[in-house]
Structures are given as structure tokens and as C-alpha cells.
């Protein structure tokens, strides 16, 4: 193989690795159809029973730190990453569908929790949230204006979408700091869809914000290679195929 061909193959093969390190990266995601609900009596889980969630988003591991969640008025123990322009947003361009219904959100945030060295903090967690998630027990009126473009199913309107990966009880840690990971976890996570009653936009019933949250398990997210990287990888494989064919032809001649 010529030096040029060797270089082309090396660049093409390296491109498949560099794609995972590039920022931002587009991910496709999907879930299984297993559904559980924060409130087993909520009808919204039954309305979506048997559905799966799928879609795509962009993730930037080089996004800047906004601050600690406790200092910003949210549940303590998380580092929050947002960004202030398209070049450094942490989580953006979310689009997806569930049970024939679609949702989109242009700007979200990424949260990281790490329980080392403080075991009182949440276990290792990476969470991508379309909109800020209220504290547990904090009841937010459904009329709150949010940039999420959701949908209504029955008497329930979608208010937030959260994708997260959490260290299970007894499982090994997968983070060693509060920094955003260079790539999202490869193990399965969960998707949470937070619904509120459309018939009570002011939440006069003072219902728990998470009373109608529906969880989908089996979340997987796969990075989508950039078109240029795909072309390079294809070129490298073509060179390898032609080289192998040439060698096979040469050895078959008497």
C-alpha cells in the first residue's frame, strides 16, 4: 500500500474516533415501551401505555458551567451547564415523539452530580433537561410560560422532558468529577415526561408538579457521525477493499 493510501486510511479510521470527541455532537435517542408513573393513579400513564420515546438532540461537553444547583435555587448536589450562544450550549435542538405526539425544545441544560467524596450527595448522574425542573414538593402552575413546544393528551399537557442516566444502587461510579463527560453514558437510562393538568392552569388544586410524571426506561443515545467523517471513513474502507482486491489478484496469477 502506498504512503498516500496509508495516510488516507489512517485519517479515515481516526475520524470515527474524533467524531465522539467533537463538540457539539448530534445524538439519536430511543426508549423501551416500559412505563412507570410517579403517581400510579394518574391516567396519563395509561394514555401513553405501550408507546416509546425517540428523537434527537445536540450535546456539547465543552459548555460552560453556570453554577451549583443549590445556589441557583434548585435541588442541591448538581453542577448546571447551559451556555449562552449556539456555539457553547450544553443541550439543545431537542425534538422527539411519543405515541404519535411530538415535542421540540431549542435550549436546555445539562446537570452533573458526583457523590465522591461526599456520599450525601446524589449518586453519579448525568441529566439533560429541556427546561428547569422545580424542587420536589414545589408546585408550579401549568400556566408558567416555557419554551418547550409540547402536546396535550387527554386532559394533560407536556411541560418538560428530561433524559437522565443514574448510578444504580450498588453499581460502580461512572463519573470522577462534576465536569460534563466527553460522551454520554453507554448504559441505559430513563426519560421523564412531566405533565400537568390543562384544565387547571393556575394549579388551584396545589398538585405536586411531579404527580403526573411518566418514566420510560431503556434510554439509549447514539452519536451521529458528521457527514464529513462518514465520507472519510467510507473512503478509507474503499481504499482497503481495493488494496485487498489488488493483492488477491496478484497472488492468483501464475
How much is the pLDDT for 211?
A: 87
How much is the pLDDT for 243?
A: 55
Residues 159, 120 contacting (CB under 8 angstroms)? no
Distance in angstroms (rounded) separating the CA atoms of residues 188 and 165: 7
Query: What Rg, from alpha-carbon coordinates, does the chain have?
Result: 22
How much is the pLDDT for 111?
A: 96
Residues 193, 53 contacting (CB under 8 angstroms)? yes
How much is the pLDDT for 22?
A: 54
Which 8-state DSSP code applies to residue 71? T
- pTM for this predicted structure: 0.79
The closest of 219, 224, 179, 189 to 25, measured between CA atoms, is 224
The closest of 177, 184, 19, 20 to 90, measured between CA atoms, is 184
How much is the pLDDT for 242?
A: 53
Distance, C-alpha 166 to centroid of its chain: 12
Q: Provide φ and ψ at 231, rounded to 5°.
A: -65, -40
- Burial of residue 199 (CB within 10 Å: 0-12, 13-18, 19+) is exposed
How much is the pLDDT for 230?
A: 37
How much is the pLDDT for 38?
A: 72
SS3 59: strand
How much is the pLDDT for 247?
A: 55
How much is the pLDDT for 251?
A: 53
CA 91, 178, 69 angle in degrees (round to 5)? Answer: 70
How much is the pLDDT for 158?
A: 94
pLDDT per residue of the chain (254 residues) written in tens, 0 to 9 = 443 333 323 333 343 334 344 579 999 999 999 888 776 667 899 999 999 999 999 999 999 999 999 999 888 889 999 998 888 999 999 999 999 999 999 999 999 999 877 766 668 999 999 998 888 778 877 555 667 999 999 999 999 999 999 987 667 889 999 999 999 999 999 999 999 999 988 888 888 888 889 999 999 999 998 654 434 334 444 544 555 555 555 555 55
Q: Provide φ and ψ at 237, rounded to 5°.
A: -65, -35
Distance in angstroms (rounded) separating the CA atoms of residues 135 and 221: 26
Amino acid at each position: 500500500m502506498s504512503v498516500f493510501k496509508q495516510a488516507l486510511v489512517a485519517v479515515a479510521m481516526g475520524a470515527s474516533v474524533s467524531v465522539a470527541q467533537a463538540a457539539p455532537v448530534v445524538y439519536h435517542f430511543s426508549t423501551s415501551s416500559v412505563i412507570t408513573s410517579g403517581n400510579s393513579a394518574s391516567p396519563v400513564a395509561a394514555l401513553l401505555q405501550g408507546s416509546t420515546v425517540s428523537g434527537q438532540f445536540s450535546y456539547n461537553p465543552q459548555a460552560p458551567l453556570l453554577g451549583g444547583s443549590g445556589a441557583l435555587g434548585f435541588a442541591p448536589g448538581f453542577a448546571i451547564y447551559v451556555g449562552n450562544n449556539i456555539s457553547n450550549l450544553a443541550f439543545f435542538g431537542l425534538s422527539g415523539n411519543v405515541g404519535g405526539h411530538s415535542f421540540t425544545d431549542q435550549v436546555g441544560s445539562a446537570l452533573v452530580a458526583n457523590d465522591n467524596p461526599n456520599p450525601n450527595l446524589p449518586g453519579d448522574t448525568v441529566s439533560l433537561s429541556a427546561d428547569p425542573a422545580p424542587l420536589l414538593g414545589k408546585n408550579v402552575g401549568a400556566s408558567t410560560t416555557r419554551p418547550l413546544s409540547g402536546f396535550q393528551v387527554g386532559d394533560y399537557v407536556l411541560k418538560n422532558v428530561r433524559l437522565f442516566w443514574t448510578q444504580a444502587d450498588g453499581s460502580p461510579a461512572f463519573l470522577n468529577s462534576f465536569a460534563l463527560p466527553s460522551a454520554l453514558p453507554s448504559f441505559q437510562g430513563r426519560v421523564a415526561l412531566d405533565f400537568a393538568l390543562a384544565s387547571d392552569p393556575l394549579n388551584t388544586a396545589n398538585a405536586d408538579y411531579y404527580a403526573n410524571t411518566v418514566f420510560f426506561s431503556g434510554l439509549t443515545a447514539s452519536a451521529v457521525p458528521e457527514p464529513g467523517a462518514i465520507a472519510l471513513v467510507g473512503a478509507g474502507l474503499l481504499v482497503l477493499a481495493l488494496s485487498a482486491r489488488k493483492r488477491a489478484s496478484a497472488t492468483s496469477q501464475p
